[in-house]
Amino acid sequence: MINIIFSEEYKNHDTGNHPESIKRIEVVNNLIKEDYSNHNLIEPSTADKKLISLVHDIEYVNYIFDSIPTSGFNYFDPDTIASPNSLNSYLLAVGGSVDAVKKIIEDNNKKNVYFCAHRPPGHHVEKNKAMGFGVFNNVAISAEYAIRSGKFEKILIVDFDVHHGNGTQHIFENSKNIFYASSHQYPFYPGTGSEIETGTGNIFNCPLTAGCDSKTFRSLFENKIINKINNNFDLIYFSAGFDAHKLDPLASINLENEDFYWVTKIVLENLANNVPIISVLEGGYDMKGLLHGLNNHLKALIEYSNE
C-alpha cells in the first residue's frame, strides 16, 4: 500500500487555455479514485510563509501572496499564471509535499511511499523567481525541511520530467547532503542541464537529444545517473513529470508508457535500500501520456512498498 496526497482544490487553480490546465488534475484524480482508492488517500495541509521561505526569499514569498488577482489573471511570467483561487493550490502543493516528510518521521523513517498529486509543478522555480508554470518549488521545500529535521543525512532527488529542473538544481548545487539527478531534453527549455553542471559533485545531468527513443533513454539514464551515483541515501524523491512521453506536445522525447515503470524501478532497485520514497507530480501535458505514464510510475512504487 502507498500513501497518495491529493485534493479536489487543485481544480480551482484556473489557468484558462493553458497546457498546465485543470484537465490535468482531473485526469490524475480520476485515476486515483478509480484505480487506487484502496490505498491511503490523504488531504494535504496548507503551508505558511515560514515553511515556504525555507528555500525562497521572504520578499519573493510576500510578492506572490500580494500578487494574487481578485479577478481575471495575473502573469508572473508569460507561462506562469495566477487566478483568484490559485494561492490555495500553491500552499497545498507545498504543504502536502512537507506532510509526507512529517508522516515518514512520525513512522520512524520506515519504508513508506508517498505520491503527491499536486499542481502546479515546481521544479523550475528559483529562490526568487516564478518559472515554468509554478511559483514555489514543492520538492525543494520538502527536501530542505527533511534535512533540517535532522532525521535524514543524505537525500536524492531524481527528476525525469522532460524539462530540466533548473530551480531544484540551483537551490541545492552547493549542498553536501542533497543530491539531484535529472534526465531531460537538451538543449531545450529552460536552457540548463548540461553534463558539465556538477555542483559539489552532487548534480548528475543526463541530457537527451530531441527524438530520443526508449532504448537510447534507458542506456543513457543507466550510464549517466544509475552507474555514477555511489552514495547511500535515507530518503529519495521523484520529480515525476510525464512530458517525455511520445504523445506530449511540449517536447520531442519519445518514451513509451512502460518507460515510466522502468525508470522508477531502476532507481528503486539500485539507489533505494528500503528507504522511504516521496514522489511529487511535475509535468505531463498530453492526457493519455499523463494517464498511462503515471499509472506505470505508481505500479512500480506499489511493488517497492510491498517488497
pLDDT for the residue numbered 288: 98
Query: How would you class 290 by CB atoms within 10 Å of its CB: exposed for 0-12, middle for 13-18, buried for 19 or more?
Result: buried
In the chain, where do the E strands start and end? 3-6, 40-42, 74-77, 80-82, 113-117, 155-159, 178-185, 203-208, 235-240, 277-281
Rg of the chain on CA atoms, in Å: 17
How far is Cα 102 from Cα 105, in angstroms, rounded to an integer? 5
pLDDT for the residue numbered 53: 98
Q: Give one word for 143, left, alpha or beta, with left for phi > 0 and alpha for psi -120 to 50.
A: alpha
Question: Could you write out the three-class secondary structure of 193-215?
Answer: CCCCCCCCCCEEEEEECCCCEHH
Tens of pLDDT along 105-129?
Answer: 999 989 999 999 999 999 999 999 9
Please confirm, yes or no, whether 124 is among the known catalytic residues: yes
Of the residues 39, 118, 123, 124, which is catalytic? Answer: 124
Domain architecture of the chain: domains with CATH: 3-306 (3.40.800.20)
pLDDT for the residue numbered 100: 98
SS3 278: strand
- CA dihedral sign, ordered 172, 173, 178, 184: positive
How far is Cα 254 from Cα 68, in angstroms, rounded to an integer? 37
Task: Give the C-alpha distances (Å, rounded to integers) separating 250 from 10, 71, 119, 188, 295.
Answer: 22, 28, 17, 10, 20
- What tens-digit pLDDT sequence spans the chain (307 residues)? 999 999 999 999 999 999 999 999 999 999 999 999 999 999 999 999 999 999 999 999 999 999 999 999 999 999 999 999 999 999 999 999 999 999 999 999 899 999 999 999 999 999 999 999 999 999 999 999 999 999 999 999 999 999 999 999 999 999 999 999 999 999 999 999 999 999 999 999 999 999 999 999 999 999 999 999 999 999 999 999 999 999 999 999 999 999 999 999 999 999 999 999 999 999 999 999 999 999 999 999 999 999 9
pLDDT for the residue numbered 109: 87
pLDDT for the residue numbered 268: 98
- Angle between helices 257-271 and 287-306 in degrees, nearest 10: 30
